[in-house]
Structure 1
Amino acid sequence: MNLLFVADPLEGFKTYKDTTFSMMREAARRGHQLWACHPADLVWVRGAQVTARAARRVSLTGDAQDWFKVEETRDLVLAVGSDAVIMRKDPPFDSEFFYATHLLSQAEREGARVFNRAAALRDHPEKLAIMEFPQFIAPTLVTRSAEAIKAFHAEHRDIILKPLDGMGGMGIFRVGPDALNLGSIIETLNKDGAETVMVQRYVPEIVQGDKRVLVIGGEVVPWCLARIPQGTEIRGNLAAGGKGVAQPISARDREIAEGVAAKLAPRGMLLMGLDVIGDCLTEINVTSPTGFQEITKQSGIDVAALFIDALERQLQ
């Protein structure tokens, strides 16, 4: 099969940990052809179909640094030249990402198979998707109102504030019972009411890790990756210096993941990465969930193989 990966530049991949690379490696092992483009390469013109301009067909070299070789470059019509389009553009979920999903939706109307489905990506921003599952989340507020945030803090005393378009732990603040710098943090995040902020009650179990629970093809992967904060950090994100420790999922992790999967997988979510702290769901990552290689190396479960298995089933 021809698999087109819509992703960030291949030259920037850290292959020792990159999840998209692990997908590509497993797909190549099975004999599938690998193509790659950036979201900016997608184009549509009246009378034609959505095309990836100058898409590159690549082979894997096995070298850790120069890990791919370009075998061919050409314009690739998504509905004709690819058996599956795998959307792996990293956050943030900004306007350009949103526009890319509309181009991918048009490609789907023309016959392309896109994973995760473009509408599913568009309809489930990673911070806000948890609103559909109030039974699994900590007390949460989504607002532009500074007064509402202050009232939420007065009620819960220890809170986390974060922007809706952040990634990798960027822009996350904790405010304790003393409310130190709360006003300044609100001003920084909501920009005088211009931007919406998510506020959640602090979950102290973060010291045991922010767990990444993977759901592939509607099935829960039995091991998760606990991202454990280091030093004085409150953030477990690997990008913020957290330590990744693979561990078997708990009964509560499974309950949450199966509940989310039952609703979202039928909407076209082939892959989801749920963030769980303690017993609380905090985010549903659908753009480019990671953690494959860390879980595989520490547990022996070949997560990339589970993903390609699920993809191949979808394409039968």
Structure 2
Amino acid sequence: MNILFVADPLASFKIYKDTTFAMMRELQRRGHTVAACEPQHLQWQGGQPVTALVRQIHLTGLPDDWYHVTHQGREALKDFDAVIMRKDPPFDSEYFYATHLLEQAEREGARVFNKPAALRDHPEKLALMEFARYAPPTLVTRSAEAIRHFHAEHRDIILKPLDGMGGMGIFRVGPDGMNLGSIIETLNQGGHTTVMVQRYLPEIVDGDKRLLLIGGKVAPFVLARIPQGGEVRGNLAAGGKGVAQPLSDENRAVAEAIAPVLAARGLLLVGLDMIGNCVTEINVTSPTCFQEITDQTGFDVPAMFVDALEAALAA
């Protein structure tokens, strides 16, 4: 098969940990052809199919010069067996427009994963609200007054922007309410920006766990991202330590309730974040942690993903 990745620039990949690279490597190992483009390379001219300036690549196995371009040109997305959208957040206007071009490519016959409409319909912070029974008490609002009431009720809270990534812009406010007013001003910008507020979960000391839902099934290992040095954030980008561990029975029960619902909507790969037994985020744009889990446990997450991709394309 010929597989196209829509992703960040190849030169930016840190291949020792990059999940998209791990997907590419497994696909090539199975004899599939790999190509790549960036969202800015997508193009749609009236009366013509959606195209992209594409580079077909061969992975060399070397740590530095890790790929060679074997062919380059403008090609129609519908001519690939699958298009895998792996552009990292933030989900900004350009990402939004890219999903529309990818959806048009779908109408022309392309098979896109994750499904573009599902990417738009499941913003990564807000998506958990549909599954509120599995989440901590959560408020989404622009109202400073509502945030203050939520703090008065729960006493220890986490505030975060809806468009943050990698732990960016996350604040904790304890029972003393120290700096709550300033944090509200910073995040909601006078009522112009929506904020998510959640009850603080002390189980964060054991890690913010990344569960992988692949083809409606749950990977048997998770990556617990454990805060370091007094941080409240476990995100690897914020200095958290990633420790792979077996999926607990309690986490499995929650994940197995959510996984088939999301898979039926065209979300082949989902990163479910859990603290304790509470879901805190549902990541759909570019879930990661394949290599960390595989390296620490021996469980081949990229193989599980490619198995699910091949099954989806055969269906």
In the superposition, the TM-score normalised over structure 2's length comes to 0.99
1:250 & 1:84 partners in 2: Cα distance? Answer: 33
* Structure 1 position 65, deviation (Å): 1.3
1:70 & 1:307 partners in 2: Cα distance? Answer: 24
Residue number in structure 2 paired with 1:308: 306
Counterpart pick for 2:97 among 89, 99, 106: 99
Residue number in structure 1 paired with 2:77: 78
1:65 & 1:139 partners in 2: Cα distance? Answer: 46
Residue number in structure 1 paired with 2:17: 17
2:89 & 2:223 partners in 1: Cα distance? Answer: 19
Residue number in structure 1 paired with 2:282: 284
2:143 & 2:74 partners in 1: Cα distance? Answer: 47
SS in 1 for 2:167: coil
Residue number in structure 1 paired with 2:58: 59
Establish whether residue 50 from structure 1 lines up as the match of residue 81 from structure 2.
no
2:16 counterpart letter in structure 1: Y
In structure 1, list runs of 5 or more residues that go unmatched: none
Establish whether residue 222 from structure 1 lines up as the match of residue 231 from structure 2.
no
Identity of matched residues, %:
71
Aligned residues: 314
In structure 2, list runs of 5 or more residues that go unmatched: none
SS in 2 for 1:76: strand
Moved over 4 A (4+): none
Residue number in structure 2 paired with 1:127: 125
Residue number in structure 1 paired with 2:88: 90
Map residues 192-211 of structure 1 onto 2, 5 A cutoff: 192-211=190-209
1:134 & 1:285 partners in 2: Cα distance? Answer: 16
Residue number in structure 1 paired with 2:29: 29
Deviations, residues 186-223 of structure 1 (Å, cap 9, x unaligned): 01001101110000000000000000000111110010
* Structure 1 position 178, deviation (Å): 0.6
Counterpart pick for 1:251 among 249, 252, 257: 249
1:75 counterpart letter in structure 2: R
Deviations, residues 11-68 of structure 1 (Å, cap 9, x unaligned): 010000000000000001011111100011111111100101x210000111111111
Tell which deviates more after alignment, 60-69 or 151-160. Answer: 60-69
* Structure 1 position 252, deviation (Å): 1.6
Residue number in structure 2 paired with 1:39: 39
In the superposition, the TM-score normalised over structure 1's length comes to 0.99
Establish whether residue 190 from structure 1 lines up as the match of residue 188 from structure 2.
yes
SS in 2 for 1:247: strand
* Structure 1 position 72, deviation (Å): 0.8
2:20 counterpart letter in structure 1: T
* Structure 1 position 259, deviation (Å): 1.2
Establish whether residue 267 from structure 1 lines up as the match of residue 246 from structure 2.
no
SS in 2 for 1:133: helix
2:13 & 2:194 partners in 1: Cα distance? Answer: 31
* Structure 1 position 262, deviation (Å): 2.3
Residue number in structure 1 paired with 2:150: 152
Residue number in structure 1 paired with 2:115: 117
SS in 2 for 1:246: strand
Tell which deviates more after alignment, 306-315 or 253-262. Answer: 253-262
Establish whether residue 170 from structure 1 lines up as the match of residue 168 from structure 2.
yes
SS in 2 for 1:74: strand
SS in 2 for 1:227: strand
1:93 & 1:173 partners in 2: Cα distance? Answer: 21
SS in 2 for 1:192: helix
Establish whether residue 237 from structure 1 lines up as the match of residue 235 from structure 2.
yes
- Residue pair 2:22, 2:291 contacting (<8 A) in 1 also: yes
